[in-house]
Structure 1
Amino acid sequence: MQLYLHLSQNNHPLDQSTAQHIFRKLLQFDGSTILLGEVGQMLVSSCTLVIIPNLTRRGAPYALVENVVTHADHQGRGYGTLMLNAATEHAWSCGCYKVMLMTGSREPATLAFYENAGFARTKTGFQKRR
């Protein structure tokens, strides 16, 4: 939960009990996972990935990435990109035909980060197609 404080300025921590309840629900949600990046014993990056069943594209699922975060002291070292690459590889291994993410940020550096990680700007979101 401390890492999520680095997600955005207006992100407020959940109380421990609520966070544990939501975490258990997330882990029980079929197709969802939280990827973690550690340096030594410190958690420095994370993202949530959800594989979503699909009735189109010959039944190939798609993936949604959310809550991409890197600790402020470790930004610019490639950890966020490693998270996105790991999420993408996991999605491909599950047969997904695309990986999607959206950002509310208009910061050029944030948009460039996603584009440099292989995501294409389309409409108001990003996607990465296999």
Structure 2
Amino acid sequence: MADYTIRRARREDIEAIVHMLADDQLGATRDDPGDLEPYLRAFAEIDADPNQLLMVVATGDKPVGTLQLTIIPGLARRGALRGQIEAVRIHADHRGTGLGADLVRWAIDESRRRGCALVQLTSDTSRTGAHRFYERLGFVPSHTGFKLKL
């Protein structure tokens, strides 16, 4: 296992991140590395918001994994903060090395550091391997999610 760093994503990381998003059975149908403009606009908004953390795990300076952690304030649970983990991806060449687990553990620790009462995530029902991965990290399937495409 090579040395790696978990750090905030930078503008120059976006192309590598989008390639990781698209290198997946679901992402291949909804992400397009050929047109980075919408991703760069989204990155500018994410980067400007202190409750949004777009992270990469990098070997050298090359991103080989990513996730987004959103800190959500809410009234439920006595005004508890929640950490929401989204878009966890590891480059195909680095899967099975423990980088994904380390990255998710980082997000859990950061959520705790920021005072969150819980960490949550969703995972598409077709991603059974991801479900086993999250359960090994201590996540418990607890809800049924719904989406409405706009």
Gaps of at least 5 residues in structure 2 are 1-17, 146-150
Determine the C-alpha separation between the residues in 1 that align with 2:23 and 2:104.
17
The alpha carbon displacement at 1:19 in A equals 1.7
Distance 1:107 1:24, change over 3 A: closer
User: Alignment RMSD, CA only?
Assistant: 1.7
Percent identical pairs in the alignment equals 27
* TM-score, normalised with respect to structure 1: 0.85
Residue 23 of structure 2 aligns with an amino acid whose one-letter code is H
Distance 1:86 1:29, change over 3 A: same
Alignment match, 1:38: 58
Higher strand fraction: Structure 1 or Structure 2? 1
What secondary structure is seen at the aligned counterpart in 2 of 1:110? helix
Alignment match, 2:32: 13
8 A Cα contact 1:35 1:87, kept in partner? no
* TM-score, normalised with respect to structure 2: 0.75
Determine the C-alpha separation between the residues in 2 that align with 1:17 and 1:5.
15
Residue 9 of structure 1 aligns with an amino acid whose one-letter code is A
Determine the C-alpha separation between the residues in 2 that align with 1:56 and 1:123.
16
Which stretch shifts more, 9-18 or 32-41?
9-18
The alpha carbon displacement at 1:122 in A equals 1.3
The alpha carbon displacement at 1:31 in A equals 0.5
Count of residue correspondences: 125
